[in-house]
Structure 1
Amino acid sequence: MTTPRDTPASRRVRANGDGTVYQRKDGRWEAAGYVLAPGNTRKRVHVYGTTRKDALAKLTEKIATSNRGIPAPSAQGSVGAFLTYWLETVAVHRLRENTHTRYTAVVRLYVIPGLGNKKLAKLTAKDVRTWLDHLRTTCQCCTRGLDTARDQPQCCAVGKCCSKRLSPLTLTYVHSVLKSALEHAVREEEIPRNVARNVRMGAPRPRRFEPLTAEEARAFLTATNGHRLSALFELALRTGLRKGELLGLRWEDLDLAGATASIRRTLQRTNSGGLTALPTKTESSERRIALPTECLRSLEQHRERQRQERAAAGTGWKASGYVFTRPDGSPIEGATLTRHFNTLLRRAALRRIRFHDLRHSAATFLLEQGVELVVIKELLGHAHIGVTATVYAHVRLRLQRNAIDLLGNALRNPTQPSTRPEDSDEPPVCAAPVR
C-alpha cells in the first residue's frame, strides 16, 4: 500500500489553503493561492519559478505574509504614475504651496528619471539604494544637459566635465520626498512596506554658519541708524524672528504697552497668490514673545515715520496693516529686504552673511549668556527642544575655555596654591549645574 510519504512530491495533494503547484507547457512551474487583499478581501495570486521548489517557496512566502495580516500589493502601475497621482491629489492638499513646488521639482528632476519606469509593487530597497548611489556620483550638468542649454557651452557640452554633483543635504531631501510618497502608498495598501525606509542615508553635516560677534553686531546696529527699516533689523537681531515672521507682523499683533508681540503668520511669495500671509511654519512657531526696551523705542519711532509716509502718500496709500511696508504702504518682498540687508553689511564693512544668520546670532548670544535652552527654544519657535540643541550644539572658544577652567579647578590638588588671590572680591568658582 502506498502512503502519502511515498508519493512523489509532484503528485502530493496539498491541503486546503496551501495553494496549487503545477508545471506549465513552457517548462516553468506556477504556483497559485489565495492571500489577503486590500479592503479585507481575498484574491488569487500567481507566482512562477524555474523549479517546483522555487515556485512553492515564493507562494509560501506570500501566504505567510498574508497570515500576518499584511495585504498583498494592488499597485499595477509604475512609480512615476503613482508619484504624479500623489502630487496632484494628495500632497497638494497637505503641503504648503512652496513646499509642494519643491517636491514637484525633486520628483521631476531626480525620482522619475531614475525610478519612474519601475513597477511600484516590484520596487525594492536595492533599487532605491542603487539609484541614490548613482545620483551621488553623477554630474548633474552632464545628466540633465544643463550646459547644452547655454548660449556658450563651457563644460560638459565641450568635453570638460564640471563634476556638478548633488550635495549630501540635497540627496537626503530627495530621499525624504520618496519616503513620504511611498508611506502614503503603504497607508492606501498599495504596497506592503516602504522600501525607501530600509535604505540608510548618512546624516549630512549641518550647514556651517558664522554668527556675528558682539562687536560686529554693534557695528551692524550702528549702520542701521537712519534707515527706514532700522526697527526691523534691530528686532531681527534682538529676538531672532524669521524673515517671513517679521514681514508678516501687523500692528494689531504688537502690544507696545505690555512689551509683547504675537507671532501669528508669515509673509511669503507663492506662484499662485503672490505675496501671501500664511500660517506660521509649525504650530509651535505661533507664539508670544517679549520685546526688548530698545525695540519698543525703535518701533515707536517707526510708527511715527509710517504716519508721515501715509500723510505724504495721500490717496495713494495702500492700507495693508503691516508693521513694515514700502513707502506706499504695500507689503515688502523678501528679496527686497535681502537687498537692503546686504547694503547695510557693506556700509558697516562686515563680511557677507545671510539674513537668517541674524537669527543664529541672537540665539548664540543668548546661549553665551547662560540662558536656558528651553527659553531659547520658546523664543525661536522651534517645534522640539532637540532642534534647538542640534542647531546650536557648537560652543564658542570662550565657553570651551570656561568649561576647561572649571574642570581644572575641580582636579587641582588641594595642597597646590590657588592662582586666585586670597583677598579677591570674586566668589569662588563652583561647578556649573548640568542641565
Structure 2
Amino acid sequence: MKGHVRERSPGNWAIVIDLYDEDGKRRRKWHTFHTTSKRRAEEECARLITLMTSGNYVEPSKQTVAEYLDEWLDFVKPSVSPKTHERYSEICRKTIVPQIGDVILSKLKTDKIDAAFSKMLTSGRRNGKGGLSPRTVHHARRVLIKALGQAVTWERLTKNPAQATTPPKVERKKMLAYDAEQTALLLEAFRPTRSFIPVLLAVMCGLRRGEVLALRWRHVELGDNRRSLSVEESAEQTKEGVRYKEPKSGKARTVSLSSTVVAELKAHRARQAEEQLRLGLRPDGDSFVVAQADGSPIQPQSLTHEWVRLLGKTTLPRIRFHDLRHTHASQMLAAGVHPKVASERLGHSTIGITLDLYSHVMPGMQADAAEQVDAAIRSAVKAKP
C-alpha cells in the first residue's frame, strides 16, 4: 500500500492511496484535504495509510451529525424510558443540531464541538436572547458522548471526539428547604385544599412527586401493629400521557409513618370514600390515595401547577414541590437521624448520595457529636479516683 499527494488548487490537496486486491488488481482511494502545506498533506496521507494497514480505517460518509442523531435516537428508543427518549430528542434537535447538525459526521472534531459548547453558553437560546445554562450544556455534552460512542461501535468514527471536550463548570444550586416552623405554617395553609395530602406525604415522608401520585391504598398500612406505606411505583408524565414505572432507585421501599400522618391518612380515606360513593363509585385497594373527585389519577404537571398557585397565596418562601422532599431529609438529619436510615427512607441507592446531597446539614451534626464525645471524656476523667 502506498500513496501520494497532488495539489488541485491553492489550499486543496488530493490524497491518492493505491490499494491492491488479493488478485493484485489495483484500485485507488481519493481523499480531499485542505491545507496550504504540502508537508501536512503528506502527513495526512501517511496517517490514512497507517489506519488502513492497522484495520482502523473508517470509510468516509456524507452522513451529517443531524442525520446520524436521528438514526441514533431511533436506535436507543426501545432501550430507554419514554421520558428519557423525549429528553434525548429535545437535547439533540433543539440544542446540538442547531450548532453542528450540518457537519459531516466523519469530519467532526473535538475543537468544533468545544466551539459549539462555547456558543451554546453565550448565544444558544433559540430566541436569540442569551445563552443556555451550564447545566443544559453539560447535559448536551453527556448525550453527545453517548451518541458518538455508538458511532464508534458502528465503526462510523475511529474515536469519540466528544469524549475529550471540556465540560462546562456547573455550580451546584443552593438547596432550598423549610424549617420546622415554616413546615407547620405550610401544612396549616394547605389543609383546606385537595393538595394537603400530597404536601403531607412529601414533607413528612420524603416521597417524590411521581411516588405520591402513584400511591394506591393497597400500598398503605394504617393498623395499630403496622403503620407504613410501600413505594412501589412512580408516575411519569410524557407527551403520550402518564405511565407508571418502578421507583427511581429501581426497587420498592417501605416508609414508616408517624402517628400524625396515620391520623391524617385515615381521615382522608374516609372523606375520599364518602366523596366517591356519592358518585356511585366503590373505592378499593387499587384506588389512588391522591386522586380527582371521581377517583381518576392526577397528572404530575397538574400537581405542580396547583402547588405553585396555592403557595403563591401564602407568605412562605417560594420553593419547588420537590424541595419538600429536601425539607424532610434536612429535618431528619438535623434531628440526629442516622444518614443510613435517612437514605433508606428517601430511597437513595447508596448512602453516599444522601451524604453528598445533604452535606450542608452535617457541620452542625459534627459539632454536636464533638461536644458529646468531649462531655463523655470529661465525665470519665472526673470519675477517676
TM-score range, shorter chain: 0.7 to 0.9
> Per the alignment, in what secondary structure is the counterpart of residue 344 of structure 2?
helix
Give the counterpart of 1:182 among 124, 137, 148: 148
Residue in 2 that maps onto 1:138:
123
Q: Partners of 1:268 and 1:352 in 2: how far apart?
A: 24
Deviates more, 1:190-199 or 1:62-71: 62-71
- Residues 68 and 303 of structure 1: CA distance in aligned 2, closer, same or farther (over 3 Å): farther
1:278 to 233, 238, 245: 245
Amino acid at match of 2:290: F
Q: For residues 76 and 61 of structure 1, what CA distance do their matches in structure 2 show?
A: 21
The count of aligned residue pairs is: 366
Equivalent residue in structure 1 for 2:66, among 77, 80, 85: 80
One-letter amino acid matched to 2:168:
G
Instruction: Work out whether 1:20 is the aligned partner of 2:2.
Output: yes
Counterpart among 74, 77, 98 of residue 113 in structure 1? 98
Distance 1:44 1:191 in 2: 21
SS in 1 for 2:360: coil
- The SS at the match of 2:235 is strand
The amino acid across from 2:4 in the alignment is Y
Q: TM-score, normalised by structure 2?
A: 0.82
Q: Which secondary structure state, in structure 2, belongs to the residue aligned with residue 195 of structure 1?
A: coil
In structure 1, what is the equivalent of residue 337 of structure 2?
A: 371
**8 Å Cα contact 2:15/2:45 also seen in 1:** no
More divergent stretch after superposition (109-118 vs 230-239): 230-239
How high is the sequence identity, in percent, across the aligned residues?
A: 28
Cα distance in 2 for partners of 1:220, 1:178 equals 42
Matched letter for residue 378 of structure 1: E
Distance in 2 between residues matched to 1:245 and 1:57, nearest whole Å:
59
Residues 1:52 and 1:289: Cα distance change in structure 2 (over 3 Å): same
Show the counterpart of 1:313: 279
Match of residue 383 from structure 2: none
The secondary structure found in structure 2 opposite 1:328 is coil
Q: 1:57 deviation in Å? A: 3.1
Closer/same/farther in 2, CA of residues 301 and 175 from structure 1, 3 Å limit? same
Q: Does the 8 Å contact 2:218/2:285 carry over to 1?
A: no
Question: Which residue type is aligned with residue 64 of structure 2?
Answer: S
SS at match of 1:361: helix
User: Rg bigger for which structure?
Assistant: 1
Equivalent of 2:228 in 257, 260, 267: 260
SS across alignment from 1:394: helix
The Cα shift of 1:185 comes to 1.2
Compared with structure 1, are the counterparts of its residues 22 and 187 closer, same or farther at alpha carbon in structure 2 (3 Å cutoff)? Answer: closer
Question: Aligned residue for 1:354?
Answer: 320
Asked if the contact 2:217–2:286 (Cα under 8 Å) also holds between the matched residues in 1, the reply is: no
Structure 2 match to 1:90: 75
Find the counterpart in structure 2 of residue 414 from structure 1: none
1:228–1:302 contact (8 Å) kept in structure 2: no
- Report what 1:236 is aligned to: 202
Q: Residue 228 of structure 2 contacts residue 257 of structure 2 at CA under 8 Å; is this kept in 1?
A: yes
Preserved contact between residue 318 and residue 329 of structure 1 (Cα < 8 Å): no
Partner amino acid for 1:270? T
1:98-140 CA distances to partner (integer Å, 9 max, x unpaired)?
Answer: 3322222222222112111111111110000011111111262
Q: 1:216 to 1:26 in 2, by over 3 A?
A: closer
For structure 1, list consecutive stretches of 5 or more residues without a partner in the other structure.
1-18, 36-42, 144-162, 411-425, 431-435
Contact 1:230–1:298 (CA<8 Å) still a contact in 2? no
> In 1, Cα distance between the equivalents of 2:228 and 2:347?
15
Q: Aligned residue for 1:216?
A: 182
TM-score (norm 1): 0.73
Conserved? CA contact 1:249–1:322, under 8 Å: yes
* Change over 3 Å in CA distance of 1:141–1:32 after alignment to 2: closer
Measured after TM superposition, the shift of residue 92 of structure 1 is 1.9
Q: Structure 2: how far apart are the matches of 1:384 and 1:70?
A: 40
Taking the aligned partners of 1:239 and 1:33, their CA distance within structure 2 comes to 71
- 8 Å contact kept, 1:21–1:55: no
